[in-house]
Structure 1
Amino acid sequence: MAVTVYIPTPFRRATGNRDRVEVRAKDVRAMLDELETAHAGLKGLVRADTGALHRHVTIYVNSEPIEGLATPLKDGDEVAIIPALAGGAC
């Protein structure tokens, strides 16, 4: 099943500056595996070496936060990977 994944600006260098990537996956974990295989530069940006999401990354499927990496995906779903941004006055 094909899903469209939104790639945030800080991660686009790893996807050749593409803002959207289409992958086939049955759940979020498989989607991340496919993304990291096709775009090796993403490895380590979204997940830790343990496979868990980094604390500063949130993933949404069809605008809803995921329940975990086993969250199922279906054909046509839209997935957004959103890293938290920090900043402030110097």
Structure 2
Amino acid sequence: MVEVHLWSGLRSLTGGREVVEVEASNTGELLRELVRAYPQLEGPIQAGVSVAIDGRIIASGLTEPIPEGSEVYLMQRLRGG
């Protein structure tokens, strides 16, 4: 199980939960399982979010592995500039 910390803008879509759990081994599975468990998250996820694993923003796509015990955050998409 992966514990996912949600940015405040998403919490209303998960019944107010700050942390949710899903079964996933990589970032693609994580996003799919979040939508499966919380269908209201589909819109924001499709619009674009950033996934951070152990403090590192994942920019390599949907195949980044999530090591067991990792700290995972789902946030608004972060863009450079």
Normalised to the residue count of structure 1, the TM-score between the two structures is 0.77
- 2:5 corresponds in structure 1 to 6
Instruction: Name the structure where helix makes up a greater proportion of residues.
Output: 2
The 5-angstrom pairing of residues 39-78 of structure 1 reads 39-48=38-47, 54=48, 57-66=49-58, 67-78=60-71
User: Runs (4+) of structure 1 moved beyond 4 Å?
Assistant: none
* Aligned-CA RMSD value: 1.6
Deviation of the 1:74 alpha carbon: 2.1
- Map Cα deviations across residues 17-55 of structure 1 (whole Å, 9 max, x no partner): 00001111010110111110110110110224xxxxx2x
Instruction: State the aligned residue count.
Output: 77
State the distance in 1 between where 2:25 and 2:34 align: 13
Answer yes or no: is the 8 Å Cα contact 1:3–1:23 preserved in 2: yes
The structure whose Rg is larger is: 1
**Runs of 5+ unmatched residues, structure 2:** none
State the distance in 1 between where 2:53 and 2:2 align: 10
Normalised to the residue count of structure 2, the TM-score between the two structures is 0.84
**Runs of 5+ unmatched residues, structure 1:** 49-53, 86-90
* Overall identity of the aligned pairs, in %: 34
The change in CA–CA distance for 1:75 and 1:84 in structure 2 (over 3 A counts) is closer
Deviation of the 1:16 alpha carbon: 0.5
Answer yes or no: is the 8 Å Cα contact 1:5–1:20 preserved in 2: yes
